[in-house]
Amino acid sequence: MNNISNFVELKKSEKIWAIGSIHSNLKSFSSIKKYIQKNFNAEDKLIFLGNVIGLGENSRETLSSVIDLRFNLMSKFRLKPETIVFLRGAQEEMFSKLLQLQLAPNPTEIIDWMFDHGVNKTINSYGFSENEVRNIASSGTLNISKWTSNLNKVIQENPGHEQYFLNLKHAAYSYTKKILFVNRGVDITRPLSAQNDCFWWGFQNFSKIQEPYNTFVRIVRGYESEHRNKLDISKKNTVCTLFKQPLSNKNILCGIFAENGEILDLFENN
């Protein structure tokens, strides 16, 4: 994996596969994984649009399965590391902040907020109880530091997990600059290099964008917070959202795209 830049430019691609938020749905992802393994080609690219972990019961196991898919595809086709991209979602951002909890000015409040947003499920999957973490959060900086060190050790015991969290990207785009991939949104008033954290927290009215963003005629994202009654992915829309609310929904939406932004296929787990 390459941590030089927060952005990945996808070189010449036959197809670009994109997977929306998984949220630890291991069973659903297993179906997607089989489909990709059967149909992926050497000239293709694959992007996970963030939120691989969180909310569901199997964060650790799901992440291991995702890493296994990457390893298998890279071995089979002798792919370069930048062929398979992991974007940072809100779940990964919160969990990364949790690993530095000793630096937070108000750790108890931070823990409460994160747990309300599904990070507790990720903690559970690594073998820690919610009550344990809440107690640690109110016990002082030294104890918090010891606990985060223990959590880091557990993560390191799972092959590829530490590298995953250290190498998450903010966005990816085709070398044609026609299609952009993000977790949740972009601030269309700013260039990519001047974005803040709206990549994973979103940007006001982003769903309503109808015009290209700079040269990008298509923006593909893996999560949205609004619950829409109808899945509306149109080839005419600038924004293509590969996610269906409510959060209890177990389906994972995926898409296959061309370098020019064309939607080649949309599918979900069986």
Residue-level pLDDT at 157:
98
Residue-level pLDDT at 245:
85
Contact (Cβ atoms closer than 8 angstroms) between residue 242 and residue 255: yes
Residue 85: count of CB within 10 angstroms of its CB = 25
Phi, psi angles (nearest 5°) of residue 179? -135, 135
String of b and e for 215-227 (b: at least 16 CB within 10 Å)? ebbbbbbbbbeee
Residue-level pLDDT at 81:
92
Choose which CATH entry (3.40.50.300, 3.30.43.10, 3.40.190.290, 3.60.21.10) describes domain 7-89+168-268: 3.60.21.10
Per-residue pLDDT of the chain (270 residues; tens, 9 = 90+): 444 589 999 999 999 999 999 999 999 999 999 999 999 999 999 999 999 999 999 999 999 999 999 999 999 999 999 999 999 999 999 999 999 999 999 999 999 999 999 999 999 999 999 999 999 999 999 999 999 999 999 999 999 999 999 999 999 999 999 999 999 999 999 999 899 899 999 988 888 888 999 999 999 999 998 765 445 566 678 999 999 888 888 899 999 999 999 999 999 998
Question: 130-137 vs 107-116: helix axis angle to the nearest 10?
Answer: 150
Residue 259: count of CB within 10 angstroms of its CB = 20
Amino acid present at 60: R
Of the candidates 219, 227, 252, 206, the one whose C-alpha atom is nearest the C-alpha of residue 51 is: 252
Torsion angle, alpha carbons of 157, 95, 121, 255, to 10: -100
Phi, psi angles (nearest 5°) of residue 84? -115, 120
How far is the C-alpha of 243 from the C-alpha of 205, rounded, in Å? Answer: 17
Residue-level pLDDT at 5:
87
Residue-level pLDDT at 233:
62
Q: Please state the three-class secondary structure of 31-64 as a single string.
A: HHHHHHHHHCCCCCEEEECCCCCCCCCCHHHHHH
Of the candidates 225, 222, 263, 267, the one whose C-alpha atom is nearest the C-alpha of residue 47 is: 222
Cis peptide before 81 (omega within 30 of 0): no
Domains of the chain by residue range: 7-89+168-268, 93-156
How far is the C-alpha of 70 from the C-alpha of 29, rounded, in Å? Answer: 13
Residue-level pLDDT at 1:
40
How far is the C-alpha of 163 from the C-alpha of 126, rounded, in Å? Answer: 16
